[in-house]
């Protein structure tokens, strides 16, 4: 007899695939306790390192804006000529602290900008898409990337089982298993905000936006065989490469670019522009040059400045905001909640996280409160004692929301094959052979039923995709 899934309180779960949202494309509903429970629990599954992106490196630098995009945003840090101090943290996703840098994995690309209007964080990856589009599935996916609870070993079969049951993962899986899934170092990757965000100008007009950072060092990658040799000699290869380049004043740089989409264009788009498994076609939404990001200062203390660095997409500034992207909305909650657990209640008081601008909040007590004890009678709000007050001039313009609150099947009517097909067809013959071999080696030991299920998905992307993997499987 099959068991019915429940919450930790024993309440029966009717749908574990789709979050509650206002309409199929709408924002999430706070009443989705099942989603909040899963994300909050995941944030507390590992002590004390990060649940994901545990192994990383970082450096300080500067963002310089060279082009005028004021028609899209009023953010002071994005005006032509602005220079903003920032911190970057690069990471692998699945490995624990101490894992080798040169492993096949997505690379985290997290940025914290210390603007005059408060901290602005972009928490992205070196890929423009992700494995899932609904945050309800994120904890499940991460479990497949961690160790088997009985063997305490990494379990590729779990990954392929999940991916083969989740066709929305095809785009990201194809990138991960391609040559770009094993970068030579952090200097040689692009960075993407990945999510759809919004820009707001002085007139209160909202434009949807994608953020891109294109490496000036060029994309460089290892083959599996090359990476094995590197790991055998140096487990901190990416850390070493980044640190030594900055020490030698060979400062790495990235071209900062954006794609924009009007609200009217979003309504007419042939795909959901708030879907994290999709890219925006460059021919329809061309790249716009904005500026340059440069890293030019190594941290003086890794633990204080990198390990305790806490990035969250909840940190935005006037002129930059969020979108109905369901994954982004969940991360706005989940990242800050993870920091409160991992680092401490007042994690943003730490020097590396503290904004340059003045902080006026009514948060009180809790661990790690470093403020001097000079509280006035204004320790709540509203009050009659001249405490900090709200300012309606900072309100964002509304964005339309329509649809009934329900759990919408995010796979129904969704095309998960066209974009992976376009990516596959762009690959050279050599890149395709690498892709086939990488997948076949990663599938070793996986149940034949799961392999065949995944092959059927590859077949729907392109017959040559499935055929190439089948042939590669014969030789591993």
pLDDT of 6: 78
- Does 94 reside within a domain? yes
Domain range enclosing 187: 29-154+183-359
- CA-to-CA separations, 320 to 55, 118, 132, 158, 278, in angstroms, rounded: 29, 12, 24, 38, 21
List the catalytic residue out of 18, 125, 221, 353.
125
* CATH code of the domain in which 105 resides: 2.40.180.10
**Integer Cα distance of 234 and 158 in angstroms:** 28
Contact 455, 466 (CB under 8 A): yes
Q: Are 115 and 317 in contact (CB under 8 A)?
A: yes
Contact status, residue 456 vs residue 201, Cβ threshold 8 Å: no
Half-sphere exposure of 181 (CA within 13 A, CB side): 22
Give the C-alpha separation, 274 to 466, whole Å. Answer: 29
Please report whether residue 367 resides in a domain. Answer: no
Does residue 370 fall inside a structural domain? no
Q: Is 333:39 a contact under the CB 8 Å cutoff? A: yes
Q: Is the residue at 66 inside a domain?
A: yes
The candidate with the shortest Cα–Cα distance to 327, out of 476, 150, 433, 196, is 196
Cβ–Cβ < 8 Å for 253, 389: no
Tokens of 234: 């140096």
What distance in Å separates the CA atoms of residue 218 and residue 180, rounded to the nearest whole number? 12
Q: pTM (2 decimals)?
A: 0.92
For 351, half-sphere exposure in the C-beta direction (CA atoms, 13 angstrom radius) is 8
How many folded domains does the chain comprise?
Answer: 1
Annotated catalytic residue: which of 18, 53, 119, 346?
53
pLDDT of residue 373: 66
Which residue in this structure is represented by tokens 């490196």? 57
Q: Which two tokens stand for residue 372?
A: 């001097």
pLDDT at 47: 46
d(CA 472, CA 368): 54
- Quick check: is 53 catalytic? yes
Tens digits of pLDDT across the chain (476 residues): 788 877 766 777 888 889 989 999 889 988 787 888 788 878 876 647 777 888 899 999 999 999 999 999 999 999 999 999 999 999 998 888 889 999 999 999 999 999 999 999 999 999 999 999 999 999 999 999 999 999 999 999 999 999 999 999 999 999 999 999 999 999 999 999 999 999 999 999 999 999 999 999 999 999 999 999 999 999 999 999 999 999 999 999 999 999 999 999 999 999 999 999 999 999 999 999 999 999 999 999 998 999 999 999 999 999 999 999 999 999 999 999 999 988 888 889 899 999 998 888 888 888 778 877 677 888 888 889 988 888 888 889 988 888 999 999 999 999 999 999 999 999 999 999 999 999 999 999 999 999 999 999 999 999 999 999 999 999 98
Q: Is residue 389 part of a domain?
A: no
Alpha-carbon distance 349 to 345, whole Å?
A: 9
Q: Give domain status of residue 386, yes or no.
A: no
Contact 39, 138 (CB under 8 A): yes
140 domain residue, yes or no = yes
In a domain, 23, yes or no: no
Closest CA to 400 of 208, 146, 165, 117: 208
Q: Which two tokens stand for residue 449?
A: 């039923």
Cα 174 to Cα 454: distance, rounded to the nearest angstrom? 12
CA separation for the pair 197, 115 (Å, rounded): 18
């Amino acid at each position: 007899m099959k068991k019915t899934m429940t919450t930790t309180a024993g309440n029966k779960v009717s749908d574990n695939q789709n979050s509650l949202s206002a309409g199929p494309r709408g924002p999430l509903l706070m009443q989705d306790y099942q989603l909040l429970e899963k994300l909050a629990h995941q944030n507390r599954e590992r002590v004390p390192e990060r649940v994901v992106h545990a192994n990383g490196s970082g450096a300080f630098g500067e963002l310089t804006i060279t082009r005028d995009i004021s028609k899209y945003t009023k953010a002071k840090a994005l005006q032509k000529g602005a220079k903003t101090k920032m911190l970057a943290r690069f990471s692998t996703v699945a490995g624990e602290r101490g894992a080798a840098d040169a492993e096949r994995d997505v690379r985290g690309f997290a940025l914290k900008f210390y603007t005059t209007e408060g901290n602005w964080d972009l928490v992205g990856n070196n890929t423009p898409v992700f494995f899932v589009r609904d945050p309800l599935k994120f904890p499940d996916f991460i479990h497949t990337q961690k160790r088997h609870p009985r063997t305490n070993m990494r379990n590729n079969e779990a990954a392929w089982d999940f991916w083969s049951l989740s066709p929305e993962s095809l785009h990201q899986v194809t990138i991960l298993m391609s040559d770009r899934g094993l970068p030579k170092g952090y200097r040689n990757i692009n960075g993407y905000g990945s999510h759809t965000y919004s820009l707001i100008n002085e007139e209160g007009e909202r434009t949807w936006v994608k953020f891109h950072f294109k490496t000036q060092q060029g994309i460089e990658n290892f083959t599996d065989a090359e990476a094995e040799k590197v790991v055998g000699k140096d487990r901190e290869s990416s850390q070493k490469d980044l640190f030594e380049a900055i020490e030698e004043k060979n400062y790495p740089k990235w071209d900062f670019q954006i794609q924009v989409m009007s609200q009217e264009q979003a309504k007419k788009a042939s795909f959901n522009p708030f879907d994290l498994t999709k890219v925006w076609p460059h021919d329809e939404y061309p790249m716009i040059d904005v500026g340059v990001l440069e890293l030019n200062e190594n941290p003086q203390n890794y633990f204080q400045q990198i390990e305790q660095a806490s990035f969250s997409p909840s940190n935005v500034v006037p002129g930059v905001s969020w979108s109905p992207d369901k994954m982004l909305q969940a991360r706005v909650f989940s990242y800050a909640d993870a920091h409160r657990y991992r680092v401490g209640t007042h994690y943003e008081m730490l020097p590396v996280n503290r904004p340059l601008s003045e902080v006026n909040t009514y948060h009180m007590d809790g661990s790690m409160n470093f403020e001097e004890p000079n509280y006035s009678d204004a320790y709540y709000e509203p009050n009659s004692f001249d405490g900090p007050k709200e300012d309606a001039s900072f309100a964002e313009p509304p964005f339309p929301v329509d649809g009934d609150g329900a759990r919408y099947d995010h796979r129904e009517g969704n095309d998960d094959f066209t974009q992976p097909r376009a990516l596959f067809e762009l690959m050279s013959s050599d890149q395709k052979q690498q892709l086939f071999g990488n997948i076949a080696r990663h599938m070793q030991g996986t149940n034949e039923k799961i392999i065949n299920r995944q092959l059927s998905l590859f077949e729907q992307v392109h017959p040559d995709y499935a055929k190439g993997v089948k042939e590669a499987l014969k030789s591993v």
